[in-house]
Amino acid sequence: MTRLTGLLKDEIAAKGPLTVARYMELALGHPDFGYYRSDDPFGADGDFITAPEISQMFGELIGVWCAVVWRGMGAPKRVNLVELGPGRGTLMADALRALGVAPEFRAAIALHLVETGKGLRDRQKETIGNAHPDIEPQWHERIESLPEGKTLFIANEFFDALPIHQFQKTPEGWRERLIDVADRGGFCFVLSPPLTTPPPVAEELWDAEAEAVAEVSPASLSIARAIGERVAIQGGAALIIDYGHERPGLGDTLQAVKNHGFADPLTDPGRVDLTAHVDFTAIGAAAALAGAKAWGPVGQGVFLKALGIKARAAALIEGARADQAEEIQGAVARLTDGDRMGTLFKALAVMPAAAATPPGF
Ligand code: SAH
């Protein structure tokens, strides 16, 4: 039994079954035993591999995206560049390197990283610091402590790690899915008593058939709202890339990953990564409600091709050995093909209502 398993059981004994959101919050973010607080889960040897770890082109193109948007903002002398959940810092190091082509933008940047994990912060400091000793990032636990001012937000595979609630339709109506201690000692899903009001999910889902599962992530919506408000009032933009659905949908998307394979979300909390599909419509709507305008989502494949991934790959291949060239081609396919990361992964932009169409949308 992990330490966290014991703590979760104590909380269940004291307060009753946990919501899926509370379980995720502790399994990922417990200050001592949460998954993102402990080791370094990323990269080819970790539990999963994210787009920036697949190829430097991903971060580079995002850097260029930021530079173009900054120019569209009137090239302000000072701008906050904020990354939410920077992982190992690879995306940001690649993005900043690509800004060799936009030195005025690079010089305008105040870099802020929102990261709760201590181990990951150290990792980010090392990756970004080694590549860009002139840039001193500031770290934040939450977006509320970010400084005022025009801000560009980047979030890759951040929202999928935020806690969700799950509701299940039954013949007696909607109930919340909860997590309890099973008779044999592990954890199991149970259902709350029927809700007396409709669940806080998209209204179009309320009439779902029995057994259907609907999800909502209040934590995601509140961050999307805060981003929308900042962008609308102070200026800037946000680029959110993640995997998920365009329209609100039904289905249990809670998943656990360990050693590059699927695992049971209820086994070994704190030692497996837990994620859920991002509801892009809900995120865009939350940002729009705060006064900004949401663009997309568009598939990651379409987005990266519009930003010029093929031309970037061709330039890299020019000076490369045959095996490296093959690797670069492979990375393009992996990031953009419809049956790889090209469609399931999507990009959404949040802009001030009057701003021009952002690149790639
Ligand atoms: N963007 C990176 C890492 C994605 S994993 C990449 O693409 O490789 C999710 C990241 O979000 C991790 O850095 C994790 O520690 C961070 N994170 C998760 N929940 C968070 C929260 N509530 N607040 C701040 N950071 C969080």
> Residues 93-117: pLDDT tens digits?
999 999 999 999 999 999 999 999 9
Question: Rg of the Cα trace of the chain?
Answer: 21
Assigned token pair, 188: 């199991």
Q: For residue 2, what pLDDT band results from cuts at 50, 70 and 90?
A: confident
pLDDT tens for 118-157 read 999 999 999 999 999 999 999 999 999 999 999 999 999 9
Token pair for 92: 């940001």
Distance CA 76, CA 151 (A): 10
Q: Which residues of 225-255 are buried (b: 16+ CB within 10 A; e: fewer)?
A: bbbbbbbbeebbbbbbbbbbbeebbbebbbb
Contact 21, 166 (CB under 8 A): no
Supply the residue whose CA is at minimum distance from atom 17 of ligand 1: 85
Q: Alpha-carbon torsion 122, 124, 130, 134, what sign? A: negative
Which stretch of DSSP H or E encloses residue 263? Answer: strand 261-263
pLDDT at 37: 86
Q: Is the CB of 89 under 6 A from ligand 1?
A: no
Q: How far apart are CA 348 and CA 103, in angstroms?
A: 26
Burial of residue 311 (CB within 10 Å: 0-12, 13-18, 19+) is exposed
Decide: 264 and 256 in contact? Cβ < 8 Å.
Answer: yes
Rounded Cα distance between 99 and 230, Å, is 24
pLDDT above 80 (res 277): yes
| Residue of 115, 139, 240 to test ligand 1 pocket, by largest number of atoms within 8 Å of CB | 115
Check whether 187 has a pLDDT greater than 90.
yes
Tell how strand 173-181 and strand 187-191 pair up.
Answer: antiparallel
**What phi, psi does 165 have (nearest 5°)?**
-100, 145
Give the pLDDT of residue 39: 63
- Does residue 317 carry a pLDDT above 80? yes
H-helix or E-strand containing 153? strand 151-156
> Which of 158, 222, 243 most suits a substitution to test ligand 1, by most atoms within 8 Å of the C-beta?
158
> Distance from the CA of 158 to the center of ligand 1, in angstroms?
5
Q: How far is CA 297 from the centre of its chain?
A: 14
Question: What own/partner pairs with CB < 8 Å and gap ≥ 24 does 9-12 have?
Answer: 9/181, 12/179, 12/180, 12/181
- Rounded Cα gap, residues 327 and 67, in angstroms: 27
Q: How far is the CA of 221 from the centre of ligand 1 (A)?
A: 16
Residue 43 has a pLDDT of 59
- The answer for residues whose C-beta is within 8 angstroms of residue 47's C-beta and 6 or more apart is 41, 257, 258, 259, 260, 272, 273
Atom 10, ligand 1: which residue's CA is nearest?
85
Q: Locate 157 and state its tokens.
A: 């595979």
